[in-house]
């Protein structure tokens, strides 16, 4: 076995271990390091294959990549992790597509290799533009609501079929270079049109699905370049992204077709929604008093916590309450935030103990025995309409049963709808108190009030 083959073997093992370790918060850091070391060994092994014709360009690329990647990692706030993930996927997919393009013009391969190249280029370019569109929606450069028009799904289907037809023509006659730019343009356009009808509520699933596409593109590139490690790494990425997408869909009681073509997230209006309903609110002093009298508190974070960057203040509130002997836990919904694990990442950054982060299916049975459910910027994932209203767009979606707690307190700027675009009936329940204000500012006030009474 040659040196580069040994490095590839170790790298493949590290990639597999990275996925295993990243499946649990306690070992996630080890998983990240394992993946990084595996990628370093993979790069070194590739260089040792002596297939590189110009090391000067390799050095330039490494320096350029480091100049972009290091600031992204250091300066990007944790609240913007979903956007950074979308950009990373876009860059990886573009790299794969450009390599496939270079291979096509360099070799004009035929047979199976051309099939692999066609898959690589199609998935690479459509994932590139789709990820950019996802970034735009996540960063609110583009409207997070679905952008739709009549016959949209048919237009997308026609474009996709034409792209597949051109790919087939190139497989049969690779020398038809004039068709190639049209193939690339169709792939780029399809990526844009695939994402614009998808609303912000579905971004967690979209991010996972695009990750799967990028991985499959890399795996196809491995077949085209006869690189077994690329095949393995791409297959791991593609399959894990697909599995995660399935988990996200189940967490929302949605199908893939509904996510991709359902235009979910448009504002729902009805006579009932516009009726004036009684709302009870509380001040920071009143909310702090309720928390102090509680024995059990469940904090439910949502995207509002991320926007306000309130995770560190939430940790301070957790510390203040636990010092008073109050049992405080965090309820994590699978699709809370804008990407899978978004809340876990933010709370881990604030050093919230891992064992206090409880998954939805494990904590729902305790909600009826909880004194206070404190919701910080979450909306659709606690909306009882998912269980009570069969006509609701989120009907059947598994939710955190916050409404079962003795007292529900919701920190929110106003009464606006969530990403699903529907009113939340939890706001109007007799055991609910609205805590109006910016999440970070309101939690800061809660910490001061709880601390003041503790020292009194």
Nearest to 291 by CA among 312, 315, 331, 320: 320
The alpha-helical segments, DSSP class H, found in 108-147 are 112-138
Q: Is the CB of residue 327 less than 8 Å from the CB of residue 295?
A: yes
For residue 70, the number of C-alpha atoms closer than 13 Å in the C-beta half-sphere is: 6
Give me 122's structure tokens.
């199609």
73 CB neighbour count, 10 Å cutoff: 9
C-alpha span between 170 and 108 (Å, rounded): 9
Catalytic residue among 355, 366, 371, 380: 380
Give me 202's structure tokens.
């579905």
Cα–Cα distances in angstroms (integers) from residue 301 to residues 24, 28, 298, 353, 371, in the given order: 19, 20, 10, 15, 17
Residue with tokens 């480091």: 66
Residue with tokens 């008093």: 289
Residue with tokens 């990407």: 339
Residue 300 has φ and ψ, to the nearest 5°, of -115, 105
Q: Is the CB of residue 248 less than 8 Å from the CB of residue 340?
A: yes
Nearest to 210 by CA among 303, 346, 99, 96: 96
C-alpha span between 338 and 83 (Å, rounded): 9
Please, which residues bridge with residue 376 across strands? 301, 411
Q: Please say if 380 is a catalytic residue.
A: yes
Quote the Cα angle for 315-301-311, to 5°.
30
Give 304-324 as a DSSP string: HHHHHT-HHHHHHHHHHHHHT
Q: Is the CB of residue 234 less than 8 Å from the CB of residue 222?
A: yes
Residue 429 has φ and ψ, to the nearest 5°, of -75, 150
Give me 194's structure tokens.
């695939």
Cα–Cα distances in angstroms (integers) from residue 337 to residues 83, 203, 219, 250, 346, in the given order: 12, 9, 29, 16, 10
Catalytic residues: 380
């Amino acid at each position: 076995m040659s040196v580069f083959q040994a490095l590839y073997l170790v790298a493949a093992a590290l990639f597999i271990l990275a996925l295993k370790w990243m499946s649990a918060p306690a070992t996630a850091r080890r998983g990240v390091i394992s993946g990084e070391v595996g990628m370093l060994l993979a790069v070194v092994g590739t260089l040792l294959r002596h297939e590189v014709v110009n090391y000067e360009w390799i050095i330039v690329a490494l320096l350029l990549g480091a100049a972009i990647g290091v600031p992204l990692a250091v300066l990007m706030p944790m609240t913007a992790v979903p956007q950074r993930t979308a950009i990373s996927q876009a860059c990886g997919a573009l790299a794969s597509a450009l390599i496939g393009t270079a291979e096509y013009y360099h070799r004009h391969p035929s047979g199976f290799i051309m099939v692999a190249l066609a898959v690589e280029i199609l998935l690479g370019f459509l994932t590139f533009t789709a990820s950019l569109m996802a970034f735009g929606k996540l960063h609110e450069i583009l409207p997070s609501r679905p952008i739709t028009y009549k016959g949209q799904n048919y237009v997308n289907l026609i474009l996709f079929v034409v792209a597949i037809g051109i790919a087939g023509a190139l497989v049969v006659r690779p020398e038809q270079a004039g068709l190639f730019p049209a193939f690339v343009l169709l792939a780029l356009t399809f990526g844009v049109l695939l994402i614009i009808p998808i609303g912000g509520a579905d971004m967690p699933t979209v991010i996972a699905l695009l990750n799967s596409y990028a991985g499959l593109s890399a795996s196809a590139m491995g077949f085209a370049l006869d690189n077994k490690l690329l095949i393995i790494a791409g297959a791991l990425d593609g399959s894990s992204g697909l599995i995660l997408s399935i988990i996200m869909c189940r967490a929302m009681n949605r199908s893939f077709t509904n996510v991709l073509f359902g235009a979910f997230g448009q504002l729902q209006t009805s006579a009932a929604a516009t009726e004036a309903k009684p709302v009870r609110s509380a001040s920071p002093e009143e909310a702090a008093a309720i928390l102090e009298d509680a024995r059990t508190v469940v904090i439910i974070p949502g995207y509002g916590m991320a926007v306000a960057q309130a995770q560190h203040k939430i940790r301070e509130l957790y510390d203040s309450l636990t010092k008073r002997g109050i049992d405080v836990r965090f309820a994590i919904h699978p699709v809370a935030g804008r990407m899978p694990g978004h809340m876990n990442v933010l709370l881990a950054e604030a050093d919230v103990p891992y064992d206090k982060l409880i998954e939805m299916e494990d904590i729902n049975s305790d909600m009826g025995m909880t004194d206070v459910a404190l919701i910080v910027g979450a909306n659709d994932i606690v909306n009882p309409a998912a269980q009570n209203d069969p006509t609701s767009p989120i009907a059947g979606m598994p939710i955190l049963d916050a409404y079962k707690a003795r007292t529900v307190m919701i920190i929110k700027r106003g009464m606006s709808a969530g990403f699903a675009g529907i009113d939340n009936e939890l706001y109007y329940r007799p055991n609910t108190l609205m805590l109006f204000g910016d999440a970070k500012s309101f939690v800061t006030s809660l910490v001061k009030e709880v601390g003041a009474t503790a020292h009194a």
